[in-house]
């Protein structure tokens, strides 16, 4: 079982904006977070913690219902 959080940016319309090219991907994945991104990472971390608690206490289907696509 895994819990996955995406790191791609999203446009104002909600479309996923992935970096193009190997160098751009490396820079995106290994780069530092902006202050706004850091706030989001902290929010996602809290959500992942809550998802794990629900996963363990109430099972995968319940956790998926609550958390899929939330962040």
Which pTM was predicted? 0.56
CA distances from 8 to 36, 41, 49, 51, 64 (A): 14, 12, 21, 21, 21
Residue 10 φ/ψ, nearest 5 degrees: -125, 140
Q: What is the pLDDT of residues 49-70, one digit of tens each?
A: 998 999 999 999 998 898 887 7
pLDDT attached to residue 45: 86
Continuous segment of H or E residues that includes residue 44: helix 35-58
Tell me which of 60 and 3 has the higher pLDDT.
60
pLDDT attached to residue 61: 92
In this prediction, what percent of the chain has a pLDDT beyond 70? Answer: 94
């Amino acid at each position: 079982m895994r819990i996955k959080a995406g790191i791609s940016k999203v446009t104002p319309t909600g479309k996923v904006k992935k970096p193009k090219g190997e160098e751009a991907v490396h820079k995106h994945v290994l780069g530092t977070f902006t202050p706004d991104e850091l706030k989001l990472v902290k929010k996602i971390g809290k959500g992942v913690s809550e998802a794990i608690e629900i996963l363990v206490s109430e099972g995968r289907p319940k956790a998926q219902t609550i958390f899929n696509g939330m962040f």
